[in-house]
Amino acid sequence: MTQHRGAWKNRWTFMLATAGSAIGLGNIWKLPYMIGVNGGSAFVLVFIACILFVGIPLMMTEIMLGRRAQKNPFNAMQQLANEANASPHWKYLGAMGMVAGVLILGFYSVIGGWVLSYITLAFNGSFDAISASQSSQNFESLLNSPYLLVSWHTVFMVMTMGVVARGVSSGLERANNILIPALFAILLILLGYSMSVGDMQAAYQFMFTPDFSKITPVAVLSALGHAFFSLSLGMGSVMVYGSYLQRNVSIANTTICIALVDTLLGLLVGLAIYSLVFANQLTPNAGPGLIFQTLPIAFGHMPFGHLFATLFFTLVAFAAWTSAISLVEPTIAWVVENTSVKRAHATVHLGLIIWMIGITVSLSFNVWQDVTIVFGLGIFDTLDKLTSTIMLPLGGLLMALFAGYVMQKHHRQDELNLGRSYYTAWKITNNIIAPLAILMVFLYLLGLIG
Ligand code: TRP
């Protein structure tokens, strides 16, 4: 066994890295379009509830499991099960997470590629005074070109695996320091612009006016899945980051900060986008292309738009990059900690597998548009739904059950180190509310399939 593990320098670097994992395309690309596809405020409210009652407690759980074991998710679950005299099969929970990470990065990297290509479009002034239909055309021509999609996906993969090969806790933590605040700053500029020219009132109404009649089972299913996706939960990203964390850091405070920043960021992007959507008579349910079709219109008409657009897509690319890294770290940590294979070597091999998955995803937007995998879903949709609505919640459910019912009580108390009432709150949400919510959603899914 070779044991070579990185460690965060302090609490702040852990927090930035975990925030870097959480903040990504999920907030800027996925949340806004899911709000539109799932009926606006109905989805937003359920999503916020999922973050509070499922996401936050399970994020604490996942960090806690990682830090207790100080190992990659597979070995961590094995060791924790051993400590608790439980079945060794718990280790397969770690294995499922690795597979989920690979599948997610398979499509994540393609969307990361879209963002990279939009940096060059922005830089070349392609958005100047652009109309809504021109903007949609720009996006269509990107999607219709397998060559462009695969090329940009390749660039994104090389960037991601390049960092992973070096080791996560050495290179990237410094970058996060500047990136996240910068992303917030430019978002505020965008929001200010949307407020002045867009229809902020309509956007606000669309996103926040409670209309419980619009809450459908599918909206609940998607909201729960997205809570996991947005906070990077259920597959071991957060567990492996927690395993590099020192013992003296408060898990609860860190988690709450990250969850708040992550959720706020996504909702602000949503407001900025929908106020433009309504002012330009665009449709809210445009799907995955939403930000790529709407934001250029805003940038194309604002003073210094050229500059802001380039900066914005660059920051989004960075955010996606720091998230992508966390998707493969569990697998790489597993290889490095269990075999004599070198980190760089493992990274290249895993990178090639994911790259190939990404090629099929790229083709699913054009030449393989009509290829369906299951239930009439294309390649991209299959990967997305399989991971977000099944694998991540299942992983989260099992982690919650393990932490709540299998792990020794004094171990979880030691790690969480919470006052009495906070501990009770964690326990009720982790042991009862979150598992029930996930189970209910699964039962509904089974009904759909059955
Ligand atoms: N949370 C990231 C985002 O919002 C994506 C991500 C990174 C992720 N690691 C993950 C999603 C682990 C699920 C599981 O963009």
For ligand 1, mutation pick of 34, 172, 237, 387 (most atoms within 8 Å of CB): 237
Greater confidence, 149 or 169? 149
Work out the average pLDDT over 59-79.
95
User: Could you count the other beta carbons within 10 Å of the beta carbon of residue 376?
Assistant: 8
pLDDT at 409 over 80: yes
**What pLDDT score was predicted for residue 208?**
92
Asked if residue 112 lies in contact with residue 361, where contact means CB atoms within 8 angstroms, the answer is no
Q: How would residue 1 be classed by pLDDT, with cut points 50, 70 and 90?
A: very low
Q: Given the CA of residue 323, which atom of ligand 1 is nearest to it?
A: 7
| Ligand 1 near 235 CB (within 6 A) | yes
Q: Give percent above pLDDT 90 in the chain.
A: 60
Q: What is the mean pLDDT of residues 5-11?
A: 72
Task: Give the tens place of pLDDT for each residue, 67-76.
Answer: 999 999 999 9
How many angstroms is it from 301 CA to the middle of ligand 1? Answer: 32
- Count how many residues are written for the chain: 450
Atom of ligand 1 nearest to the CA of 236: 12
The predicted model gives 265-291 an average pLDDT of 87
Q: Examine the pLDDT at 284 and tell me if it is beyond 60.
A: yes
- Range from 39-48, 207-216, 257-266 carrying the lowest mean pLDDT: 207-216
Q: Rounded to the nearest 5 degrees, what angle is found at the Cα of 176, between the Cα atoms of 172 and 182?
A: 145
Highest mean predicted confidence (pLDDT) among 69-73, 192-196, 355-359, 413-417: 355-359
Task: Give the ligand 1 atom nearest the CA of 231.
Answer: 1
| CA nearest neighbour of 394 among 260, 278, 262, 236 | 236
Mean of the pLDDT values across residues 141-161?
A: 96
Q: Which residues make beta-bridge pairs with 374?
A: 377
| pLDDT confidence band for 175 (50 / 70 / 90) | low
For position 173, what pLDDT does the model report?
Answer: 61
CATH of domain 11-378: 1.10.4160.10
Tokens of 418: 């919470």
Nearest CA to ligand 1 atom 10: 232
Q: For residue 347, report the distance from its CA to the centre of ligand 1, in Å.
A: 19
Residue of 25, 323, 383, 385 with the most ligand 1 atoms within 8 Å of its CB, for mutation = 323
* Most confident among 91-105, 154-168, 290-304 (mean pLDDT): 91-105
Provide the pLDDT for residue 81.
95
* Higher pLDDT among residues 243 and 213, named by residue: 243
Least-confidence region, from 1-5, 84-88, 152-156, 221-225: 1-5
pLDDT in tens, 286-345: 888 889 998 898 888 877 888 888 988 998 998 899 899 889 988 998 999 899 999 999
Q: Please, which pLDDT band fits residue 3 given cuts at 50, 70 and 90?
A: very low
Out of 104, 156, 267, 388, give the residue to mutate to test ligand 1, the one with the largest number of ligand atoms within 8 Å of its CB: 104
Nearest CA, atom 8, ligand 1: 232
331 close to ligand 1 (CB < 6 Angstrom): no
Is any ligand 1 atom within 6 A of the Cβ of residue 78?
Answer: no
Nearest atom within ligand 1 for CA of residue 387: 13
Say which residue, 441 or 101, is predicted with more confidence.
101
Model confidence at 248, in pLDDT bands (50, 70, 90)? confident
pLDDT of 188 > 90? The answer is no
Mean residue pLDDT of the chain comes to 90
CA of 410 to the centre of ligand 1 (A): 30
* Position 174 confidence tier, pLDDT thresholds 50, 70, 90: low
Name the residue at shortest CA distance from atom 14 of ligand 1.
Answer: 232
Note the pLDDT of residue 449: 63
For residues 39-64, give the mean pLDDT: 95
Residue with the bigger pLDDT between 276 and 100: it is 100
Q: What's the pLDDT tens digit per position in 109-138? A: 999 999 999 999 999 999 998 988 899 999
Q: How many CB atoms lie within 10 A of CB 190?
A: 23
pTM for this model (two decimals): 0.93
**For residue 281, pLDDT beyond 90:** no
Domain residue ranges in the chain: 11-378
